[in-house]
Amino acid sequence: MYGLGELPQGFARLSAIYGGTYMLDKPIDEIVIENGRVVGVRSGSEIAKCKQVYCDPSYVPDKVRKSGQVVRCICLLDHPIQNTKDALSTQIIIPQKQVGRRSDIYVSLVSYTHQVSAKGWFVGMVSTTVETDNPENEIKPGLDLLGPIAQKFVCVSDYFEPTDNGLESQVFISQSYDATTHFETTCLDVLDIFKRGTGEDFDFSKIKQELGDEDQ
């Protein structure tokens, strides 16, 4: 209901139901490895014992490699994107060949219908893989597509990927977020990590959604 922040919130609640422990506002000082295998996570003088660790690249800089950069621009708009029939939610991919690039440019737009902005305002995001020394200029075709921008925020992030599959150390590392805005590659990465960590494919047939009588 309130954007992607509901995903970790939902996971936290589900974890608590099944006996999970959350250590809030705790820095991670060390991932404790013994005989090449993870045995815990240290925060200050406390060590949380564990058999596996799932984390993003920022926690294990010695186990990842930089493979590129991503430029992103978050824009505040007071209008929808032109020629989209005033759509309140939009996903656009500008093909690489259309703009003489090696990578596609991704454009997304969300609005108050997603509980992320006030009514009448829109949040647009344009992103792509960095190919030159002028990253902001690379996303110009996407910014032009948005039309007039009230305010924008540009950042360039390094893209990291793990150097091993984690089967020996039991430390399973995700890839950094790439330039896509539809989360397909992120979902595929999660499924890959799940298989490496559990030894089996995720079975979607086990997910059951409880529907009200009116939806049956």
Residue-wise pLDDT tens digits, 70-103: 999 999 999 999 999 999 999 999 999 999 999 9
Distance of CA 74 to the CA centre of its chain: 15
Q: Where are the alpha helices (DSSP H) in 23-152?
A: 135-138, 140-146
* pTM recorded for the entire structure: 0.84
pLDDT at 5 over 90: no
pLDDT at 42 over 90: yes
What local confidence, expressed as pLDDT, does residue 213 receive?
46
**All residues at 6 or more sequence positions from 50 whose CB lies less than 8 Å from its CB, including other chains:** 38, 39, 40, 41
What local confidence, expressed as pLDDT, does residue 141 receive?
97
pLDDT at 197 over 80: yes
Question: What distances in angstroms separate CA 98 from CA 44, 95, 104, 128, 140, one per listed residue?
Answer: 52, 5, 9, 14, 13
What local confidence, expressed as pLDDT, does residue 212 receive?
52
What local confidence, expressed as pLDDT, does residue 63 receive?
95
pLDDT at 203 over 70: yes
Residue-wise pLDDT tens digits, 124-169: 999 999 999 999 999 999 999 999 999 999 999 999 999 999 999 9
Taking alpha carbons only, the member of 118, 111, 138 closest to residue 126 is 138
Q: What domains lie within the chain, and their CATH numbers?
A: 6-65+162-178+189-197 (3.50.50.60), 67-159 (3.30.519.10)
Report, as an integer, the average pLDDT of 180-196.
Answer: 94
pLDDT at 52 over 70: yes
What local confidence, expressed as pLDDT, does residue 210 receive?
57
pLDDT at 38 over 90: yes
Q: Categorize the per-residue pLDDT at 216 as very low, low, confident or very high, splitting at 50, 70 and 90.
A: very low
What local confidence, expressed as pLDDT, does residue 6 receive?
81
**All residues at 6 or more sequence positions from 193 whose CB lies less than 8 Å from its CB, including other chains:** 54, 172, 174
Q: Categorize the per-residue pLDDT at 1 as very low, low, confident or very high, splitting at 50, 70 and 90.
A: low
The dihedral of CA 7, 13, 16, 18: what is its sign? negative
Q: Is 45 helix (H, G, I), strand (E, B) or coil?
A: coil
% of the chain with per-residue pLDDT over 90: 79
For the chain, the first-to-last Cα distance in angstroms comes to 22
What local confidence, expressed as pLDDT, does residue 2 receive?
61
Report yes or no: 29 and 143 within 8 Å, Cβ to Cβ: no
Report, as an integer, the average pLDDT of 11-35.
Answer: 89
Distance of CA 104 to the CA centre of its chain: 18
Report yes or no: 92 and 31 within 8 Å, Cβ to Cβ: no
